[in-house]
Amino acid sequence: MTDISTHILDQRMRSPVYNASGVMCRETTELEAVRHSDAGALVSKSCTLEARDGNPEPRYAATPFGSINSMGLPNHGYRYYLDYAAHYDYTDKPLFISISGLSLADNLHMLDAFQRLKRPLLPEVNLSCPNVPGKPQLGYSFDDMATALTAIHAAMDIPFGVKLPPYFDISHFEMAAEIFNRFERLKFLTCINSIGNGLVVDTDSETVLIKPKNGLGGIGGDYVLPTALANVNTFYRLCPDKQIIGCGGVGAGEQVFQHILCGASAVQVGTRLWEEGAGLFTRLNQELVAIMQRKGYQCLADFRGKLRTL
């Protein structure tokens, strides 16, 4: 028997794979589809204090190697997801709630409402939305991020996590890790959000693919796998008391395996889920099991974080 179950904090997941925030999670019908799939957990669309329509369309495009998006945080407002979380059956699979306030005060307000539910939901604070014009990604401003985490940590009685932008420089990994390690109840780091502000060009029409921001948008899919794995493995090494959730470039069981080998405790899927739908999770589980059987691994702990260097 091959066991692909995992834990985030004390919560068991039957499979390590689930949706990345932003994909199949804005509507309760979509959240329910992920819940009824072979995903091991689900996470809601990043929410704001008030509902948002998001950026003008087209704002997502599939490309040969992945996707580009500038959704602009379309969501129903936090009360909609609060209601879902209030009625959720937590014996089924873990529920993560993504929070992406437009200010620290908004984040504190929403986090307080969610923790007052006194349910075992797992808040994932999004420090890395690349697509709201005029709002820089907090994860790239180390002083502002430290200030925000200090206030959030002081206000939180329950464990929480953060969704991080990709980092590209060793000094930035070290500075970010030093900040995260200050906060005991910050228990998980989700690496990575899309690579912000890429540009995909159509040669025939000589145009951009999406309307907002002159075509700039967050890049996901195959393009981002090496960056995602670098972030997972580096924070796994630098933050030994945190759990890492991998995200980026997963299209098959092989990439799930690689994320776990680099140290991920669970693995989110964005672009590929958008393209393939929730049946994807059944396939990923089967492909992961096949790789583990070929290698003689019985459970994820047999290889998690055991990436070898030369």
CA 236/CA 117 separation, integer angstroms: 31
Residue 218 touches ligand RRO, criterion: CB under 6 A: yes
Residue 46 touches ligand RRO, criterion: CB under 6 A: yes
**Per-residue x/- marks for ligand RRO, 92-111, CB under 6 A?**
--------x-----------
Q: Looking only at residues 134 through 193 of this chain, which bind ligand RRO when binding is defined by CB under 6 A?
A: 193
- Phi, psi of 96, deg, nearest 5: -95, 145
Smallest gap from Cβ 46 to ligand RRO, in A, equals: 4
CA 287/CA 306 separation, integer angstroms: 20
Residue 71 touches ligand RRO, criterion: CB under 6 A: yes
Nearest to 190 by CA among 97, 117, 112: 97
Residue 99 β-bridge partners: 47, 125
Length of the chain: 310
Smallest gap from Cβ 129 to ligand RRO, in A, equals: 4
| Residue from the set 126, 231, 265, 285 that interacts with ligand RRO by CB under 6 A | 126
Q: Looking only at residues 263 through 292 of this chain, which bind ligand RRO when binding is defined by CB under 6 A?
A: none
Choose the stretch contacting ligand RRO; rule: CB under 6 A; options: 5-13, 24-32, 77-85, 124-132. Answer: 124-132
The catalytic residue positions are 129
Nearer to ligand RRO, 90 or 168 (CB): 168
CA 235/CA 187 separation, integer angstroms: 12
Smallest gap from Cβ 72 to ligand RRO, in A, equals: 5
Burial 223-258 (b: 16+ CB within 10 A, else e): bbbebbbbbbbbbbebbeebbbbbbbbbbebebbbb
Where does this chain bind ligand RRO (CB under 6 A)? Answer: 22, 46, 69-73, 100, 126, 128-131, 193-194, 218
